[in-house]
Structure 1
Amino acid sequence: MSKSIAENWRDLSGQHYWKDLLDPLDNDLRRYIIHYGEMAQATYDAFNSDKASKYAGRSRYGKAEFFSKVGLEKGNPFKYEVTRFLYATVEIDFLVLNGVEESNWIGYVAVATDEGKAVLGRRDIVIAWRGTQKSAEWVKDVQFLLNEAPQIFGDDSHCKVHRGFYSIYTADNSCLDKTSARNQVLNEMRRLVNQFKDEEISITVTGHSLGAALATLNAVDIVTNGYNIPQNHHHQPHQIKAFPVTAIVFASPRVGDSDFQAFFSDQTDLRALHVRNKEDIVPRHPFIGYSEVGQELEIDTQESQYLKNNVGDVAGWHSLEVYLHGVAGTQGSKGGFNLEVQRDIALVNKSLDALKDEYHIPETWRVQENKGLVQQHDGSWKMLDLELKDDDF
């Protein structure tokens, strides 16, 4: 498996637009998609949503221990280290919430270690974006108006994108990092691309739902503004070395208009693979004035013999863990379901009650021990949050 992925990573990253790999779904590509989906899932597993916590809205874990804490170390040949946490600001500027501003942890940047590079066949840089978790983010999700995106395309472009998604990506941060999520991620990309410019590099952007939309904007931004090109190559056109950028996204809503779609398609170093669950309504919205970009992989988790029949509510079809289960077992147009990748079905119930009772997996089993309360020597209980160090930002 590892040798095949190391040798064929360009095809798996969409060099030829995944021609002949999607139906039937190539098994190395299954593993590849699941790998990036798990890195997106880590943004949910690490997010501190406990209102009682002093550090609510941040990552529960620091950079050094991040992947071990979210369960992506054991049995995983794809080794990375987190180099940067990302924070986004949501500005609410209407009705009773006018003037409300909230900043939260929204994802991370990671780079393959030397060990990971050997398995992956190149130095992979990953940007993972979190989906909606906060009420203010839901407000932005439904700001469907199409607006220009001058920070990405300049002032003369005809491309228009979702107002809410663009705002989350570009709004300046009044606390934590003091700058926009866009500036944070692009500055880190510049640093890493320059650091590893003499190696083979790939840039992979991933996310689920809102995170998928942000990943799409981010991927376009990197290519449009040359952040996939080492800095000292910018003024030497004959020597330009542009590294490929691939967005592998899950349950993504539509992001831009037909001009955005055309612009995206014209970029030679940019690819996108959208994974869509057949019954999930989110990837078909917004539908007025919007166009889809990239290639699509449709899965149908209704075919899975492991899931309850009543899992089919909006949250069930939209769950990222359900998506990854679907990728592991989809049989494409021929129908049926068979786990070609032995991914533990227990993960489906991480935050749901989706597996059939016969598998005896507790529902919503992933919880923080004692919800963060730790017993002291005198028998009392205190909320002891992980206080992130300065270098975790």
Structure 2
Amino acid sequence: MAIPLSLTALLPFHPNSLKTSRSENPLPTPFYGKTLRYLSSKFGSIRARTPLQVNQGGSPKIDESLSSIITELEREKGEQEEGEIEKQANKKLADCWREIHGQDNWSGLLDPMDPLLRAELIRYGEMAQACYDAFDFDPFSKYCGGCKYIRRKFFEPLGLADHDYKVTRFLYATSTNNLLNFFKISRRTHNWSDHANWIGYIAVSSDAMTKRLGRRDITIAWRGTVTELEWIENLTDLLIPIAPEINCCHDPMVKVERGFLNLYTSKKEDYRFCKYSVREQILDEVSDLVRQYSNEELSISVTGHSLGSALAMLSAYDIAETGLNVVSDGCNIPVSVFSFSGPRVGNRRFKKRIEGLGVKVLRVVNVHDMVPNVPGILVNENMPLFVRWLLDWLPWSYRHVGVKLELDHKHSPFLRDTVDPTCLHNLEAHLHLLDGFISFLSVYSLFSCKSIYTFSSLLYFLLVVAKIGKNTAKVV
């Protein structure tokens, strides 16, 4: 059944100007963008004239040609809608996981947002958020800087048991002079480590989850920064060759930010949790898991937020560069990065190399967040092409990698309009926006109540929902 097309959809306006209440039916957003593009390409001349003519009696009279266009669009839209509903009902993740994992760079899945992709992005985002929720930030705790939960029962106390993954290894990073503000050290005299911090984990899907996903998924989740952004001040913006540290890279022009690379490769062999760099920990564990499940279809998914996103990019590149994702029959295990509010990592040659290795990257960002704009504020991918090529040799010429999905917290009626950089950078806010994102030209639509109730650290940022069932809210 076709949904009536509002005449307002034909008027040139910004979607934010809609002042509808939550109880009203929004525009048919999945086809809203297509409607505008169809009109502008086929009937561009109509925009030059006023679609509504008002007679002396005050009643609107629709132009005859415009009325026929609307009728035709309603019919076409109704047929497309029925087809989409039937298609989505029969669609299973196990049948299309390669597309969801980025095989085609998520072409056709972002606008409008594919429901399966939305669910997967939120799931990987929650696995990154688990690194924050499990991290011990208490400076008076003996285990400050470590994980609050044991590896074998990691997800249960976090309320993520339904993810059905098993953590196979915890990851520990060695403190460096470049990113001292990132590390938390206990103020007690005797603590678990003065030189290391728990920074993430590696997990593998269970048999039941593997059946639902359509493959055995190896996930690497990285911790980022939860409340402080001082680590940005420590970035030198200087690019250094990746080749000396990752010796399988033979191109000296592939460069990354120095602080990220040092954090990824640093170690102190005299200390228990610093004997191996986080790079060595990852390569060792992923190699073992690939061998263990060599007779199954595999995928490698890397996720992280903020600084963790930069480390996710480096680790995904490293896995592909060292060939750990190449199995005995010569086929490649798909490697994808699901990045949330991540900074730039390397230069143009790094971007070219990681994409050439087949690593797929989807970057989820809040357009008002400052972190995705650093480093490389002066020279980056947004500059004119000839300027980029002219300044490409500079040691602070950066490029973003992969496909970008832009979100805007101002589109959600549940979020305050704030300029607090910590709120704009918050991972849980990104997941909330994902939960209601339909398309780039649509209004926000809440798909599940969990985007309100499970986000514990957004009390300042979120509006308190009084009656979800009646779609009403109030500010407290």
TM-score norm. by structure 1 comes to 0.82
The correspondence of residues 60-75 of structure 1 with structure 2, limited to 5 A, is 60-73=148-161
How much has 1:244 moved relative to structure 2?
0.6
Equivalence for 2:213: 120
Find the residue that maps to 1:206 and give its secondary structure.
strand
Tell me if the contact between 1:88 and 1:104 (Cα under 8 Å) persists in the aligned partners: yes
1:344 aligned counterpart, secondary structure: helix
Deviation at 1:133, TM superposition (A): 5.9
Q: 1:240 aligned to 2:325?
A: no
> Which stretch of structure 1 is more off in the superposition, 38-47 or 298-307?
298-307
Aligned residue in 1 for 2:171: 86
Change (3 A) 1:149 1:140: farther
Which runs of 5 or more residues in structure 2 are unaligned? 1-88, 186-193, 380-396, 469-476
8 Å contact from structure 1 (residues 229, 241) kept in 2: yes
Q: CA deviation at 1:175?
A: 3.4
Please give the alpha-carbon distance, in whole angstroms, between the structure 1 residues aligned to 2:229 and 2:415. Answer: 32
Match of residue 103 from structure 1: 196
Aligned length: 345
Contact 1:298 1:332 in 2 (8 A): no
TM-aligned CA deviation for residue 224 of structure 1 = 0.6
1:338-377 → structure 2 map (5 Å cutoff): 338-350=445-457, 352-359=459-466
- Shift of residue 94 of structure 1? 11
Alpha-carbon shift at residue 82 of structure 1 (Å): 0.2
In structure 2, the CA distance between the partners of 1:210 and 1:93, relative to structure 1 (3 Å rule), is closer
Structure 2 residue aligned with 1:373: none
Bigger radius of gyration: 2
Structure 1 SS opposite 2:308 = helix
Displacement of 1:84: 0.1
Q: 1:249 aligns with which of 339, 352, 358?
A: 339
Please give the root-mean-square deviation of Cα atoms over the aligned residues, in Å.
Answer: 2.5
1:322 aligns with 2:411: no
Partners of 1:296 and 1:182 in 2: how far apart? Answer: 26
Q: CA deviation at 1:325?
A: 0.3
Distance 1:28 1:133, change over 3 A: closer
Residue 417 of structure 2 is aligned to residue 309 of structure 1: yes
Aligned-partner Cα distance in 2 for 1:119–1:204: 16
The Cα shift of 1:24 comes to: 1.1
Structure 1: which amino acid aligns with 2:433?
A: G
- Confirm whether residue 59 of structure 1 aligns to residue 155 of structure 2: no
Matched, 1:278 2:367: yes
Amino acid at match of 1:329: G
Q: Per the alignment, do residues 314 and 134 of structure 1 end up closer, same or farther by CA in structure 2, a change over 3 Å counting?
A: closer
Q: Deviations over 1:225-277 (max 9, x none)?
A: 011124xx3xxxxx313211000110010000011111122123x10100011
Counterpart-to-counterpart distance in 1, 2:296 and 2:179: 48
Letter in 1 for 2:415: L
2:178–2:235 contact (8 Å) kept in structure 1: no
CA deviations on 1:120-160 (whole Å, 9 max, x unpaired) are 11100000000036989827852321111123353543111
Cα drift, residue 328 of structure 1: 0.6
What does residue 48 of structure 1 align with?
A: 136
Q: Which residue of 1 aligns with 2:277?
A: 180
Q: Could you say if the C-alpha distance between residues 2 and 317 of structure 1 is closer, same or farther in structure 2, counting changes exceeding 3 Å? A: farther
* SS at structure 1 position matched to 2:92: helix
Return 5+ residue gaps in structure 1 as ranges. Answer: 234-238, 362-393
What letter is aligned with 1:106? I
- Assess if the C-alpha contact under 8 Å between 2:307 and 2:342 holds in 1: yes
Worse overlay, 2-11 or 213-222: 2-11
The letter for the 2-side match of 1:267 is L
- Helix, strand or coil: the match of 1:334? coil
Q: Is the Cα contact below 8 Å between 2:97 and 2:213 reproduced in 1?
A: yes
Shift in alpha-carbon separation, 1:93–1:221, aligned structure 2, 3 A: closer
* Residue 143 (structure 1) aligned to one of 236, 260, 275: 236
**CA 1:141–1:94 in structure 2 vs 1: closer, same or farther (change >3 Å)?**
closer
Q: Is the 8 A contact 2:179 2:231 kept in 1?
A: no
Q: Secondary structure at the match of 1:324?
A: helix
Percent identity over the alignment is 41
Query: Any idea what SS the aligned residue of 2:450 has?
Result: coil
Question: 1:299, 1:183 → 2: CA distance?
Answer: 35
Counterpart-to-counterpart distance in 1, 2:226 and 2:465: 31
